[in-house]
Amino acid sequence: MKKSTAEESRSHKAQVVVDRLGKKLNRQIVGSMVACVHCGLCTDSCHYVLSNPGDPTYAPAYKADRIRKIFKRHYDWTGRVFPWLVGAKTVMTDEELEELKDISFGKCTNCRRCSLNCPMGVDFATMNRMTRGLLVSVGIMPEGVATVSKDQWELGNQMGVLKEDYLETLEWMEEELQDELDDPSAKIPVDKEDCAVVYSINPREAKYDPRTIGDAAKIFHAAGEDWTMPSDGWDMTNFGLFSGDDELGGAVARHLFDRVQELGGKKLVISECGHGYRSTRCEAPNWAKYDVPFEMESSVETMLRYVKEGRIKLDKTRNSKPVTFHDSCNLARSCGITEEPRELLNLVCTDFREMYPNREENYCCTGGGGAMSMSEYTPRRLKSGKVKAEQLKATGAKVVVTSCHNCVDGLTDVIRHYELDMEVTQLVNLVAEALVIEKPARVPTVVEDLPLAGRRIVVADDEPDQLLYLATVMEDYGATVYQAASGDEALTLVRKEKPDLVTLDLAMPGRPVTEIYEVLRSDSELEGLKICIITGRPEMRELIYQRMETPPDGYLDKPLSEDDLLRGVRKVLELSHQEV
């Protein structure tokens, strides 16, 4: 068939997007395409709009119209007959697709708040996910999305955690647990068959926040649960939800579901993660066309059930700071989980305060929709967090709890950027803290024995307060610490003192830390040197992790508590309890 003039001059990618759009349409999507009356009621529901007054390009209806106009031009005959009247317009160039990318990935977190505020029932978030999928299918996406998707395709988890690192982390957490409880029977069982519960986690837990794994294990142990973690197929997150790639979504989910079946698990418990729960529990069976034969539940429901069944006892006075709760978009607006976390919170802390608005009307943490992986949009994301910051501040709470790992990172960034006096934690941490275990936990001797004794550490940070804090903590635990205020200083000290470990802040004056890192890794005289990144700029972590050199031995997010710092440093130095 002869191509029209327009088709001939359209770029290949634009033509593919136009063609594939037709294949993505179902009745719900078409309804959302044709039903908008441009009433503008959705405008103020978007946190981007509220935080960027005067810029109408953030308005949900405006953003929706960027894809809607293509639909109307090619698939709706009113747009084909009267394109000028209904705002129908085709897409011709790759540059126009890039503009669509900027809207779809950079100006929307798919939080679905506008969908719930549309009088017509237009589900913009679903349309936007479809748009992302179309762009991803022609390779137009933020670099971070490409990287994470690749990791999930190739390594089976979205943070590229290697199997040995994951298993090592589980072993380490098991040792910590046994030590804390003074109970060698406290285990993190791996690949145990026919268990009542198979526990799946977010790779962020293995990579950056192993404390949550330890805390969950403590709770399972206290509840006497028959549980296990898979050695493979353990990632319950699914970047297909963010990238709009149903194929990736289906493949990731099938991997997890198959593993649970192979292990003969009765129930899949999904750790606290908004998108992980939504994608695994709600979307994945559709993407994978998989009739899941076992039960699935959020760990929030599991913990609450344990309390109700009398399997664990809690002492809420152990969590006495004022606490508020941030509802994850995916849990509240797409899965209806709003009351369970509140019920549990009231059981584990003494001062719970609501945030307003809340539940399905809560504002996005700014990190949803995969935004944390799109570093090019970080300034925009942080600016758009203004409304969230005001909401957090108004609670007067010192701790914000959320059942989502993306929200943990998003809120941490907002708190830091807007200088709020708050910390972020999860229910699993509060429950573990409040857990009453009959046999009193032995006071760890590691502190008395100075766990870093004999270790030589170079600490590099350009913020004097941070530098002093990190150095003091490590010195208090017995380390000999050398302080550096820049990358070059750190390099000089490392070459002179030959330490066991160097910690690097990612944003320091002078030579880029990536260059310093490259020099440290390539210097044969420093072969045994451990390197740990300690940064308050998580969006910059890819600068290191995407390099050809061996990745860092550890990574810690600022702000860091004393415990987290000690735990992280010990992990990097591979110190077991026996050694200390």
Partner 1 sequence: MSDFLHFSEHTLQEVALVFMACVYVTRIVWFLRFAAGKERQGQTGSGATSPTKGFIYSWANVAMPWAMESTRTKPSLYVQFVLFHLGVTTAIGLSFVIPYAPALLENGLLVLILQIVIGLAFLVGVRRFIRRVSDPYMRAISTPDDYFSLLLLTAWFFFAVLAVPNNSAGGEWHLLMYFWLTAFFLVYVPFSKISHYLYYPFTRFYFGRSMGYRGVYPIRRVHKAKTS
Nearer to partner 1, 171 or 339 (CB): 339
Least spacing, CB of residue 89 vs partner 1, in Å: 10
SS3 of 285-310: the string is HHHHCCCCCCEEEEHHHHHHHHHHCC
266 binds partner 1 per the rule CB under 8 A: no
Rounded CA-CA distance 111/122 in Å is 14
Nearest to 91 by CA among 31, 182, 12, 200: 12
245 binds partner 1 per the rule CB under 8 A: no
361 binds partner 1 per the rule CB under 8 A: yes
Tell me which stretch binds partner 1 (CB under 8 A): 103-111, 232-240, 282-290, 567-575: 282-290
Nearer to partner 1, 43 or 483 (CB): 43
What does the block give as tokens for 116? 């719930």
What part of residues 449-508 is at the interface with partner 1 (CB under 8 A)? none
40 binds partner 1 per the rule CB under 8 A: yes
Nearer to partner 1, 333 or 455 (CB): 333
* Burial (CB count <10 Å: 0-12, 13-18, 19+), residue 89: middle
Tell me which stretch binds partner 1 (CB under 8 A): 192-200, 202-210, 329-337, 468-476: 329-337
333 binds partner 1 per the rule CB under 8 A: yes
Tell me which stretch binds partner 1 (CB under 8 A): 281-289, 447-455, 456-464, 541-549: 281-289
What does the block give as tokens for 276? 């992980």
Least spacing, CB of residue 254 vs partner 1, in Å: 13
Cα distances (Å, whole numbers) of residue 509 to 460, 493, 513, 532: 11, 17, 9, 18
Phi, psi of 388 (to 5 degrees): -70, -40
What is the contact mask toward partner 1 in residues 48 to 77, using x (rule: CB under 8 A)? -x----x-xx-x-xx--x-----------x
Tell me which stretch binds partner 1 (CB under 8 A): 236-244, 286-294, 312-320, 559-567: 286-294
Nearer to partner 1, 31 or 189 (CB): 31
H/E segment holding residue 93: none
H/E segment holding residue 223: helix 211-223
343 binds partner 1 per the rule CB under 8 A: no
Q: 400 has which bridge partners?
A: 324, 424
Cα distances (Å, whole numbers) of residue 138 to 16, 103, 245: 7, 16, 11
CB 519 within 8 A of CB 531: no
State which amino acid sits at residue 212: T
The total of other beta-carbon atoms located within 10 Å of residue 574's CB is: 11
What is the contact mask toward partner 1 in residues 411 to 450, using x (rule: CB under 8 A)? ----------------------------------------
Could you tell me how many helices (H) and strands (E) the chain has, helices first? 30, 15
What part of residues 82-111 is at the interface with partner 1 (CB under 8 A)? 82, 84-87
DSSP 265: -
The residue count for binding partner 1 (CB under 8 A) is 70
Residue ranges that bind partner 1, judged by CB under 8 A: 25-32, 34-38, 40-45, 49, 54, 56-57, 59, 61-62, 65, 77-78, 81-82, 84-87, 115-123, 281-286, 289-292, 296, 332-339, 354, 356-361
